[in-house]
Structures are given as C-alpha cells and as structure tokens.
Amino acid sequence: MAFEPKRFQTETHCEEIGRRRAATARENGKSGGQMSELYRSIMGEVAGQVGDIAKELGTDEETAAGAIGTAVPLMIGGLSRLASSSDEGALALFDALEKEEEEEEEKGFFGNMASLLTSPLALAAGGMLVNRMFGGRKGPIEAGLSSAFGLGRRESGNLFLALTPVVLGTLRRHKRQKRLDSAGVADLLRREEREIREESKELDGLLGVFDRDDDGGVLDDVAKMGAAVVGAGIVAKMFKRD
C-alpha cells in the first residue's frame, strides 16, 4: 500500500514562506534545490524500522514516519547552527563525531533505533547534544512536534534523543569519506541545511524556527510546518515507500 500522508490546512503560512523562498532563489539564480544527501541518508537508515519505532512511541506508522521526517531536518539545522556558532561549537561537534569508535557502528549503532527509545543510557547520551543543538528552542521544538503529530512531550523528546546516534553516525561517515576537519564539517552542515531549505517552501518554513526567538512562534511554526512537510508528500518521497 502506498504511503499516503494526511493533508493539513497550512496554505496561508506556506504561501508566505514560498514567496520568501522564491525571492531567495531568484537572487541566487536558482529555481530549486538539490535534496540534502545527509537528510536522505539518515531517512534511509531508519526507513525499515518505522513500524517498530511507532510501537515504542505508542502511535501508528504514518504518524511515526511524519515525526521522524520532521525531526531529522530540524536536527540538521540545529547541528548546522551549533557548528557555525563559534569555534567552540564546531570543535564540540567534531569531538562528538570523533568519540564514537568504528566498532560501535559495526555493532549496529544504526541497527535498532526502536531499542534506543527504551534505553535510558542511550537517551541520556543523546541529551547533551540535543540541548546544545537546539539551545533555548528545545522545549518549544519538542512541543511543536508533539502538537503536529499528537505525540506526548516525553515521546517527542525521546525521538530526538534516539535519532541523535543515527544522525551523528551518518554525519561521521560523511566526514570520514570526505576527510573533513571541524571547519569542513561546519561547511558541510551549512550546505546541507541550505539544500533542505531550497527543496520546498515547507522545509524552508520548518527551518525558519532557528531565526525566531519567541517560544510561542517556534512552537507554532514547528506544529504548522511539520504538518505541512508531511502534507506536501516530502516524507513519503524520502522514505520511497510503495
């Protein structure tokens, strides 16, 4: 059965975002973007586990897929801001990537994300980085994800924590393949964030939360644009489910 996301009414907000995105594209001489390789890689890692993740979240598979597809670009955007915020931020992220040994990846670091949702140790390990990548926006972002997909706040927070080793592991693989130093990782993340934002007005609007300082605005934007990302078929496209 084809993956059919629910449709949501966010046209007015999306049109406003779309106008800004179109103007930016014209200024850059671009008519559209190339989908982020990092986003696609991460989604590919979890594609076969959505059913198990849904059970741990206490929801259906469609909702879990939408939440994952919304959480991942937010995490890439957060990591991009962390890596670009200062030399300290870039080095902190680089150290986190270096800390994970190759043998951990071989043992199935990506292999069972559903189990990470029930592992206090794994969730605690992801907590520090999630706090750093989202900063003061962490609470509103989690609340917005809860609102968009009907998840509890605890489940939304745990989803970000469980995704952290998957996101870091995929980023680490890109770092090794491209032989990047801390500055190179920061450049890679900036490029990936830009490609995500150029992909669609919905994703551009979603990552626009990093340009806001008011908690209510962040929460509302994540809720509205998270729903819109699913409604536009972007999550279905990323999972390539037939």
Task: Concatenate the DSSP letters of all residues of 140-169 into one string.
Answer: HHHHHHHHHHT--HHHHHHHHHHHHHHHHH
Closest-CA residue to 41 (of 204, 159, 163, 171) = 171
Q: How confident is the model at residue 118 (pLDDT cuts 50, 70, 90)?
A: low
CB burial string 55-90: b at 16+ within 10 A, e below: ebbebeebbbbbbbbbbbbbbbbbbbbbbebeeebb
% of the chain residues with pLDDT over 90: 44
Q: pTM score, two decimals?
A: 0.79
Mean pLDDT of 66-85: 93
